[in-house]
Structure 1
Amino acid sequence: MYKKSGLSRKLKSFIQRIYKNAIKGFKVSRQMQKSSKKRSLTKSRKVSPLFLAALLFILSAAISPAIAKVPSSTFVVQSPQNAEQQANKAIQLYREGKFTEAAAAWKLTANVFLAQGDRLNQAMALSNLSLTYQQLGQWEQAKDAIAQSLQILESQPENKEKLEIQAQSLDVFGSLQREIGQSADALNSWQKAANIYSKINQPLKVAQSKINQTQAMQDLGLYPRACKTLLEVLNKQIEGVKSCQELGQLTTEKLTQKLKKLDNESPSLTVAVGLRSLGEVLRLVDQPEQSEIILAKSLNIAEKLRSPQDIAVTYLSIGNTARYLAEQEKDRLVGRRLNYEQKALDAYNEVIRLSPSPMTQQQAQLNKLSLLLQIEEIPAAELWRSLNSQLSSLSPSRTGVYQQINFAQTFINLAQTKKLTLGANSQLPTFNDIDKILAKATEQAKSLGDKRAEAYALGNRGGLYELTEATPQTQAEKFTQQALSIVSNFEAPDIAYQFFWQLGRIRKSQGNIEDAIAAYTKAYNALQSLRGDLVANNAELQFSFRDRVEPIYRELVDLDLQYAASLNKQLKNDKSQKLLTQARDVIESLQVAELNNFFREACVEKIAKQIDTVDKTAAVIYPIILGDRLEVILSLPNQPLTLHTKQIFRPAFDETVEMVQRSLLTPDSIVENLLPEYKKLYDWLIQPLEKELATSKVSNLVFVLDGELRNIPMSILHDGNNYLIEKYPIAVTSGLQLIEPKPLAEIKLRALTAGLSQVSKEFTGQFKPLIYVEEELKQIKNSGIPSQPILNAQFTSKEFKKEIVGSGFPIVHLATHGQFSSKAEDTFILAWDSRINVIDFGNLLRNSTLNQGRPIELLVLSACETASGDERAALGLAGVAVRAGARSTLATLWSVEDKSTAKIMGELYRQLEQAKEKKINRAQVLQYSQLSLLKDSKEKQYNHPHYWAPFVLVGNWQ
């Protein structure tokens, strides 16, 4: 904060007056120049060379600021009479990183200009002096220098040279404001600088100032706005893309193609830095694949420019993105995760090798340390001592404060996950080491007036004490409450949710369950207000959805259900019902959040209408997997919610689910040997509900599945005598976006059918021909439902789009390869000429809905499969179902390369055609079709669940 002398108010007043006068003055500056043409030209000849040289270094520094330690040796600067020579000497010293000597040189330059009566260039020198003080972390001196510069400029006559120096000074002032934690003010200063540059027709400097603006926007959590601004700056390099959302819808191939034109252009530092900033934002909004491509292009340009610092800073961003991608592969392919981790380490090593900036080197060392500890390379992590020494010598700055918090948080997070114990050996810091770092960060943030940083530092200190302090954790609670008290003074749900979660954990450890639930509920509400923008407020404090968001939902549900069970025993049923209702709502909200995270945008709205009010003949079952137990909430029509608890040994539960999933993928497994495993699942999920289900006389079961259970079709659950599908029609839903149901009897059925029995040359070797597809489409045509088939080479993405948008088919049936993955970019449907990714596919079907004024009634995907090795692959199926906007989606969890698929699809369409007459719903149509294989006495091999079980109905079952 500025001193109470009123300097801050004066500076703001100066800026307002300068800005108004600048815009006004520009309009008359040409008249002023004409009236004293000879004098102006003489002055221009005198000023221009020095002025342009100074600006070049200012803009380069403003784009990539770095804080360096004061050199130990003293460089003596003589005082030449020529001010221009003195300024050039200052520039050279700055570029060499000799900031103390550069500051002395700029101070001398300003005095020489003052003695010559050249107030305009004095203001220029003072703004450069301020920037140099910023590199030294001497904030008070930096404030004084920029205040003098702005005050001098206020009294100068209006002309182009003055306006240029005003804009430069505002750039420098913005840099200062951001470093002392005043990002909103920095954004304002940079916006005003950009407006002045625009008025004097300097588009390059407008672009550079806008890039600076995006740094402040990121500090303030304005990610979409930052992305939009960067794409405006880069509109010639990335044509036709106006937002991160649009950029995220480009395939990696399309984005690479768009950037290819840069290979033939002259390298530009502004473009290199703009791309690097865009790559940073893309990572923070969970688009790491696009970030990786953008950063590679930025690096390519920086290398052509031979700029060591820009190369180094880009490598730092590349390392961070590679690490993010490694985190994403945690539950998928181990080889890819290891490759990304190595790529991150290599990038951090390049930063350390190349960067001339000690601050940039420190950031790379911090990130490298964090990664080494995470992958349990403890001996290699000994560099923490030298880093701690370097951090302790930093002058207060926003960058330095966050580096200290990041350093401490690295060890706290790993200790929380039991990957290390603080002070366990000489290679690791002790509790007191980390506490001192956070205490210092708190004081520095307070001295800067940076409330966000102060809250982060205090909250992390609370997390440290939570980790090490015995109950009742009074210190942990004190620091956490202090952080939340600061946050309550401004809108910051991205901070609040983290520390309400921490407070909830502390309350739980104290045995205060009601207050713990209250704190968790506040964390949950803060997450709901954030919606799809679940990204950290700065790069050092970013988090993954799995580690930092999902646990809050699950832990709140856990507390709700434990407390509800205890109250139920005490006959406090009203309160118990409220807790059960909240648990149900939270688990449905988690499914919304997972899909928003899947699509990287808040594209899924949670509706107020509960799914158990849609159909009075359906029971809704919510299995919830918690650490040591399986909780099942049962919702029956017009009945209170009931809770059923099964204690489980989690490794055994996971092993059973995995074994069942594997057994279904091959028809060679012996069913009789597998039935005991299918019965285990039945006993866990259905057996406790049997009496209630029988008494209620419901005719449909609807599951809202959790975790790995989404990879298992509920139809195969077995009670020892029968499969569940033999007793009930079954559907699956995420509890989301249930479009107002419309019974089959009211629909005039027509189908657009498309498929690939062959594979184009482009995909030969990647996909096998589906030789029974023609038979499948023939069976549909013979069912009595009118259909329009497009097959093989006819089934191009263009032709499919034409048919789907123009014809308004209630049923869309695709007999082609497809993959469901937990990553949107790996979820696709195969056409003859291309993969249609889930986002493009969903947009296509939604356009059909808009054109026809009604949604697709049934989307059938008969040859898809979940991605191998991806535990959460079924999320892709839910993503397709939601994005398509169809009332119902019928899809396969694995592909069955056999004529059985044609057979079951033929039966499905015959049942659909008779639905009106039989008065049956969609779930019953699927049930009868599956039973036709299960009970087939002629081709008994199809009795195996491999053939009939992969088909699941998602969405509306009526």
Structure 2
Amino acid sequence: MIRRIALTIVFLFVGLVLTSSLGTGSSDAGTNVEQGNNPPQRIPEGDTPIKTVKPYISSQHKALPEVNEKPKSVSSQKTHETDKLFIQGKDAIDNGNLEEAIEIWEKAVKAYDFEKEPAKQMDVLSRLAVTYQHLGHYSKSLDKLKSALELSGNINDRNRLAVIYGGFGQYYYLTGELNKSKDYFVKGLLLAKETGGLELAADILNNYANFMAAQQHSVEAIDAYKECVNLAERVNRSDLSVRAKINMSRVYIDQNMLADAKLLLEDAFKKLSGLHDTYNKIYDFIAISRLMNRIYLKSPETDILNRAYNALQSAEAIAGKLTNRRASSYALGYLGALYEQGKRYDDALLLTNRAILAAQQANATESLYRWYWQQGRISRKRGNIDEAITNYRHALQSLRAIRLDVSAACSQRAQISFREAAGPVYFELADILLQRSASQRNTEQAKHDLFEARNTVEQLKGAELQDYFQDDCVVALKIKTKNLEQIIQQTAVVYFILLPNRIELLVTLPSGLKQFTVPISIEPLNSEVIAFRNSLERSEGNYLQNAQKLYEWLIRPLEKTLIAERIETLIFVPDGMLRTIPMGALHDGECFLISKYTVVTTPGITLMDPHPISRENSKLLLGGLSEAVQGFSALPNVTAELQNIQKLYGSVIYQDRDFINANIEKAMKGTPYNVIHIASHGQFDRDPQKTFLLTYNDKLSMNQLERLIAQGRFRDQAVELLTLSACQTAVGDDRAALGLAGIAIKAGARSALASLWSINDEATSQLMVEFYRHLQSTSNSKAKALQLAQQKMLSDERFHHPAYWAPFILIGNWL
């Protein structure tokens, strides 16, 4: 997928309005909708709002040094021709044709290099770097900045050096290296002020303020925006002043300072209306509209909604004048969203159809998905369910084409997950399909709808794992997977779909797929799950009430069916907050679920080539820490844990000072280990960069773990089991639990045994040894071995409380 849409995608998902865009075209006339003095009406709280506008990528081109057009002499005619290329590139930027500008400026860079014009070459390189950033080509942007910096060593020009520093600051901001970003912004700003480059200083200040706002440093951001406005007005950069005011208003809205935000936006609207019509002006008006609408939804006033409406009308008119279909699609689409918000669905549908047509003409996939989604919502509200389903399918088809860019852009720029950004599209389609299925039970159409609903959510789960690990491992592994339904024997797969107003349980049984609906909304479910998890972690806690309530909601509706079909193994595919709790600890009032069933967790309905674990020639790699290192507490029972497992399997132990990355790597290269057992502190965080396993002198990231396992010369003989006996995920953090659920897939193991939270060291040691002892029996699957080990702990008065045995979950292949 071409990275050119990356920043536009961020705009779509989190409201970032670009100051440069990615294509041209003309607005289709379409069907007229009554407009003018008849704006859409407000909607009640709870309907889908237009999402938050976040700071711009600044229009840095205007602040960059100008290339002198006039030739120095008759002999510099070639340079004069190259200067014309420079101007052509600027014109392309003004019209939103970034790819065209790049093509022209790349020629100019080569020409200036041939003509020995390093200063002019630096200017074009700096502009190229900014343009590549707008298109999401970050590596190319970095290459241009490095080339410009190298040239600066031959030219004593501190103003040009400030430009380069500002470019580096923006590059590192976009790629998530925040410390470097701040350092370069500050260096560039100081240089710009020292050299009297007020326009450049204003531009860097706007970018720096965006950076501070993204880090939620609101006071510092507002101060920087105000300074930017002051400098921009001193040098007659009205466009930059307007942009900074729009960005500053967003911070005010986040702080609920609505009156201040409204004043800024009113002023920005007035000044923007008087500026020359440009491509950037379109997106400025769109930004004003979306922010005005945010204010309206918090404090409904007709004049605010009218201003939001008028701003989009202005944007659409300019897009038509500039014949830019991509920009037209945004203006028309967001107008449609306002009419949808006002419940004027016929008009909303007409505008959305025009937005779709404009996006198709511009090949604007990143906007096309959004307008199909909007059309689906509108069709549903108009009662046309079949049409709504068709539109949702189109939306997901468009979204799949840009999924990798969406994921990368969200993580790099917006600090949100793919699920938060795109999840509603998947769940809304699943919701409609499940409702239609429930209304047509026992029909072929109902069966088809159930499978499509589950597969729709399954697509999201795969994308979530890829997004979390920033790795395409899930897609790559699908080639090796088998569907669970093909291997079910006395096994049920319970697939949770959590919708705003209910829980849907899709249960795969030997007799087929069945639907169970529980009328519990997401809020009370999440509250109960968090309370249950909190009570479980405290060995003195009273967990029973929560355990029984969750059983009533999640298991009781299935109970008679499970008994009738003689189910022995439950494979749970949890979602959301359900990932953070052990299902085996649910209680029916008489006993725990683990007392009746073997329990397995999997992040999706496919597994890595499931087959029984081979007991012959099993080779275990044992590693861990008993000593306190790097600020983490000692685990004194690790020594006994590793030694007792060694007695069962004759394994090699790497403990304490020997448990270092180099030794693990060497061991994996030399021996075909099929079981890896790590008894050390581990942390799973919502940020995968903070997820690690502790070694003696380092921290082992998930990427490093994956590489270590892949080092083995015998990689075709997969690791059957990865055991992590002292992990911790945060209470209520379903994204961190997602990382734990995906660890087997990420590491290249068929299954993983891991803990949701750290527990009593002695209890862990005993449970682990008991598990491996039962695993030696060919009659026991991994799931059965864990069940027997947990039941043994349950029978011990010291460890009866589920805090001691429940956190251990088996993920993936249970056989």
Q: TM-score, normalised by structure 1?
A: 0.72
1:65 to 2:65 alignment = no
Aligned length: 745
* Matching residue within 784, 792, 796 for 1:932: 792
- Identify the residue that residue 290 of structure 2 maps to in structure 1: 409
Does structure 1 conserve the Cα–Cα contact (< 8 Å) formed by 2:145 and 2:168?
no
The 1:267/1:942 distance shift into structure 2, 3 A limit, reads farther
* Matching residue within 703, 706, 717 for 2:586: 717
1:276 CA drift (Å):
4.5
- Identify the residue that residue 856 of structure 1 maps to in structure 2: 719
1:576 CA drift (Å):
1.2
1:395 to 2:276 alignment = yes
1:512 CA drift (Å):
1.4
Higher-Rg member (1/2): 1
- Identify the residue that residue 232 of structure 1 maps to in structure 2: 143
- Identify the residue that residue 548 of structure 1 maps to in structure 2: 421
- Identify the residue that residue 168 of structure 1 maps to in structure 2: 83
- Identify the residue that residue 727 of structure 1 maps to in structure 2: 596
Paired with 2:409 and 2:271, the residues of 1 have a C-alpha distance of 25
1:649 CA drift (Å):
4.5
The 1:207/1:722 distance shift into structure 2, 3 A limit, reads farther
The 1:689/1:868 distance shift into structure 2, 3 A limit, reads closer
The 1:623/1:798 distance shift into structure 2, 3 A limit, reads same
1:508 CA drift (Å):
1.6
The 1:688/1:278 distance shift into structure 2, 3 A limit, reads farther
1:801 CA drift (Å):
2.6
1:295 CA drift (Å):
4.0
Query: What SS does structure 1 have at the residue aligned with 2:455?
Result: helix
- Identify the residue that residue 134 of structure 1 maps to in structure 2: none
The residue correspondences of 1:806-885 to structure 2 (distance < 5 A) are 806-848=670-712, 852-867=715-730, 870-885=733-748
* Matching residue within 187, 196, 201 for 1:300: 187
1:370 CA drift (Å):
1.6
Does structure 2 conserve the Cα–Cα contact (< 8 Å) formed by 1:560 and 1:579?
yes
One-letter identity of the residue aligned with 1:352: V
One-letter identity of the residue aligned with 1:641: L
The 1:861/1:547 distance shift into structure 2, 3 A limit, reads closer
The residue correspondences of 1:532-611 to structure 2 (distance < 5 A) are 532-534=404-406, 544=416, 545=418, 547-568=420-441, 571=442, 573-605=443-475, 607=478, 611=483
Query: What SS does structure 1 have at the residue aligned with 2:567?
Result: coil
* Matching residue within 747, 755, 770 for 1:907: 770
Query: What SS does structure 2 have at the residue aligned with 1:532?
Result: helix
Does structure 2 conserve the Cα–Cα contact (< 8 Å) formed by 1:624 and 1:630?
yes
1:491 to 2:491 alignment = no
Paired with 1:343 and 1:832, the residues of 2 have a C-alpha distance of 40
Paired with 1:538 and 1:731, the residues of 2 have a C-alpha distance of 32
Does structure 2 conserve the Cα–Cα contact (< 8 Å) formed by 1:299 and 1:311?
no
* Matching residue within 450, 466, 470 for 2:340: 466
Does structure 2 conserve the Cα–Cα contact (< 8 Å) formed by 1:365 and 1:387?
yes
Query: What SS does structure 2 have at the residue aligned with 1:555?
Result: helix
Query: What SS does structure 1 have at the residue aligned with 2:607?
Result: coil
Query: What SS does structure 1 have at the residue aligned with 2:487?
Result: coil
1:759 CA drift (Å):
2.7
Paired with 2:691 and 2:99, the residues of 1 have a C-alpha distance of 39
The 1:184/1:575 distance shift into structure 2, 3 A limit, reads same
Paired with 1:808 and 1:414, the residues of 2 have a C-alpha distance of 61
Paired with 1:238 and 1:601, the residues of 2 have a C-alpha distance of 32
1:843 CA drift (Å):
2.9
Query: What SS does structure 1 have at the residue aligned with 2:298?
Result: coil
Does structure 2 conserve the Cα–Cα contact (< 8 Å) formed by 1:577 and 1:640?
no
- Identify the residue that residue 103 of structure 2 maps to in structure 1: 188
Aligned-residue sequence identity (percent) comes to 30
The residue correspondences of 1:640-789 to structure 2 (distance < 5 A) are 640-670=512-542, 674-735=543-604, 738-745=607-614, 748-760=617-629, 763-764=630-631, 767-782=632-647, 784-789=648-653
The 1:236/1:801 distance shift into structure 2, 3 A limit, reads farther
> Per-residue CA shift, 1:899-938, capped at 9, x if unaligned?
0101011111112222x2xx221111211111110122xx
1:316 to 2:198 alignment = no
1:511 to 2:426 alignment = no
The 1:203/1:757 distance shift into structure 2, 3 A limit, reads farther
Cα RMSD for the two superposed structures: 3.3
The 1:756/1:280 distance shift into structure 2, 3 A limit, reads same
1:863 CA drift (Å):
0.5
- Identify the residue that residue 802 of structure 1 maps to in structure 2: 666
Does structure 1 conserve the Cα–Cα contact (< 8 Å) formed by 2:293 and 2:304?
no
The residue correspondences of 1:318-467 to structure 2 (distance < 5 A) are 318-326=208-216, 340-355=217-232, 356=235, 357-381=237-261, 382-412=263-293, 418-423=297-302, 429-467=303-341
The 1:610/1:292 distance shift into structure 2, 3 A limit, reads farther
Does structure 1 conserve the Cα–Cα contact (< 8 Å) formed by 2:722 and 2:751?
yes
- Identify the residue that residue 3 of structure 2 maps to in structure 1: none
1:413 CA drift (Å):
5.0
Paired with 2:290 and 2:254, the residues of 1 have a C-alpha distance of 12
Does structure 2 conserve the Cα–Cα contact (< 8 Å) formed by 1:292 and 1:318?
no
Paired with 1:624 and 1:669, the residues of 2 have a C-alpha distance of 29
Does structure 2 conserve the Cα–Cα contact (< 8 Å) formed by 1:275 and 1:294?
no
1:272 CA drift (Å):
5.4
Paired with 1:886 and 1:792, the residues of 2 have a C-alpha distance of 24
Q: Which runs of 5+ in 1 are unaligned?
A: 1-61, 69-90, 96-105, 114-119, 123-155, 240-261, 327-339, 424-428
1:521 to 2:402 alignment = no
Paired with 2:354 and 2:405, the residues of 1 have a C-alpha distance of 25
Does structure 2 conserve the Cα–Cα contact (< 8 Å) formed by 1:904 and 1:933?
yes
- Identify the residue that residue 129 of structure 1 maps to in structure 2: none
Paired with 2:408 and 2:651, the residues of 1 have a C-alpha distance of 49
One-letter identity of the residue aligned with 1:176: D
Query: What SS does structure 1 have at the residue aligned with 2:256?
Result: coil
Paired with 2:784 and 2:341, the residues of 1 have a C-alpha distance of 53
One-letter identity of the residue aligned with 2:760: E
One-letter identity of the residue aligned with 1:190: W
The residue correspondences of 1:116-127 to structure 2 (distance < 5 A) are 120=71
- Identify the residue that residue 947 of structure 1 maps to in structure 2: 804
> Per-residue CA shift, 1:566-619, capped at 9, x if unaligned?
122xx5x11111211111111111112222222345443173766323522231
1:564 CA drift (Å):
1.3
Paired with 1:177 and 1:362, the residues of 2 have a C-alpha distance of 22
> Per-residue CA shift, 1:693-719, capped at 9, x if unaligned?
223333321111110010011111111
Quick check: 394-403 or 706-715, which moved more? 394-403
Query: What SS does structure 2 have at the residue aligned with 1:852?
Result: coil
One-letter identity of the residue aligned with 1:313: D
1:626 to 2:506 alignment = no
- Identify the residue that residue 353 of structure 2 maps to in structure 1: 481
Paired with 1:656 and 1:235, the residues of 2 have a C-alpha distance of 53
1:362 CA drift (Å):
1.9
The 1:440/1:876 distance shift into structure 2, 3 A limit, reads same
> Per-residue CA shift, 1:502-561, capped at 9, x if unaligned?
11111121121221121111111211111221169999x979445531111111111111
The 1:693/1:869 distance shift into structure 2, 3 A limit, reads closer
Higher RCO (C-alpha 8 Å, min separation 6): 2
The 1:769/1:206 distance shift into structure 2, 3 A limit, reads farther
Does structure 2 conserve the Cα–Cα contact (< 8 Å) formed by 1:749 and 1:786?
no
Q: TM-score, normalised by structure 2?
A: 0.84
One-letter identity of the residue aligned with 1:317: N
Paired with 1:543 and 1:421, the residues of 2 have a C-alpha distance of 29
Query: What SS does structure 1 have at the residue aligned with 2:143?
Result: helix
The 1:536/1:434 distance shift into structure 2, 3 A limit, reads farther
Does structure 2 conserve the Cα–Cα contact (< 8 Å) formed by 1:316 and 1:351?
yes
Q: Which runs of 5+ in 2 are unaligned?
A: 1-57
Does structure 2 conserve the Cα–Cα contact (< 8 Å) formed by 1:177 and 1:186?
yes
The 1:877/1:390 distance shift into structure 2, 3 A limit, reads same
